[in-house]
Amino acid sequence: MLKGFTVPRSPLGTAALTPPPPWHYAGNVLAVEFWNDPDLSADILPRGVKLDSRCRGRSVALFADCQFTANSDEHLDPARYQCREFFVFLDATWQGSRIAWCPYAYADNDAAIMRGWVEGYPKKLGAVHQTRTFAATSAASAPLANKSRFAGCVSAHGQLLAEARVILRERADHLVGLLDRPVVARRYFPQLCAGVHHKAVVDELVRCTMNNLLIANLWVGEGELIFPETHGEELDMLGPIKVGRGFRFSFSCSISDCTILADLTV
């Protein structure tokens, strides 16, 4: 009789960390493509996932400033259902198909972290910020225009993990090299019983299904990106040896499904 898509399960089902799918997102994204050392980034892949041999080490760092809703006007509870997130995606392959692999992700909100784990994103708590644009022009508002600059940053537990800059150059119609391959992630839930701490009870490689992806106001330009050295994190091992284009756009999408590619517990 208890209800809720996640814990805590409760009589009405409204206490759960997140309502059930479909999950709808709208937001702004700042992203930078970069190349890490493939000798290091190959080590971050699970069994069966390989670096994409056509672009070994190519990756994307993505800052998202999001609003969420499910079926109950959750966007009218902005303290709970807005989130700012950071993702790294590696160009990879699964059984010969091009995919994007997500080794690290951070979000500033518990509901977003929970949804991440259910989708396979390994989210931790982080503070994520990005420069914004506003409808009223001002020195304080970065315009969507040639030479306009945007910055993004993420920190966790008081340490700066990544910092990005993008200079816009031109408007574009299509995202190329970003969000154009399916994301593969890993749903993972450990055991606590003595003797089996090393074996997860859930360890699934999944392909995320993103529906109704809309991109608006896409601008492409030059990127800058650093991953400072930190302790208690390993993001810096994926640090850029070369940085490429920068991107800034608005997006929306919906999520309510995934495909299980492999059961890694066996």
Q: How far is the CB of 94 from a second copy (least distance, A)?
A: 16
- Using CB under 8 A, which residues numbered 46 to 75 contact a second copy? 46, 66-69, 73, 75
- Using CB under 8 A, which of 137, 147, 173, 266 touches a second copy? 137
Q: How far is the CB of 194 from a second copy (least distance, A)?
A: 4
User: Strand, coil or helix: what is 117?
Assistant: helix
- Using CB under 8 A, which of 54, 96, 140, 173 touches a second copy? 140
- Using CB under 8 A, which residues numbered 164 to 193 contact a second copy? 165, 186-190, 192-193
Q: How far is the CB of 17 from a second copy (least distance, A)?
A: 6
Q: How far is the CB of 107 from a second copy (least distance, A)?
A: 9
Q: Give CA angle at 124 (118, 127), nearest 5°.
A: 125
Taking the C-alpha atoms of residue 215 and residue 194, their distance in angstroms, rounded to an integer, is 48
User: Strand, coil or helix: what is 237?
Assistant: helix
Q: How far is the CB of 222 from a second copy (least distance, A)?
A: 14
Q: Tally the residues of the chain.
A: 266
Determine if residue 195 is left, alpha or beta; phi over 0 gives left, psi from -120 to 50 gives alpha, anything else beta.
Answer: left
Whether 129 and 156 have beta carbons less than 8 Å apart is answered as: no
Q: Decide: is 252 part of the binding site for a second copy (CB under 8 A).
A: yes
- Using CB under 8 A, which of 54, 158, 173, 174 touches a second copy? 158
- The helix (run of H) or strand (run of E) holding residue 155 is strand 149-156
- Using CB under 8 A, which of 51, 205, 215, 262 touches a second copy? 215
Q: Decide: is 152 part of the binding site for a second copy (CB under 8 A).
A: yes
Tokens 């994926």 sit on residue: 238
Cross-strand partners of 50: 93
- Using CB under 8 A, which of 157, 171, 180, 241 touches a second copy? 157
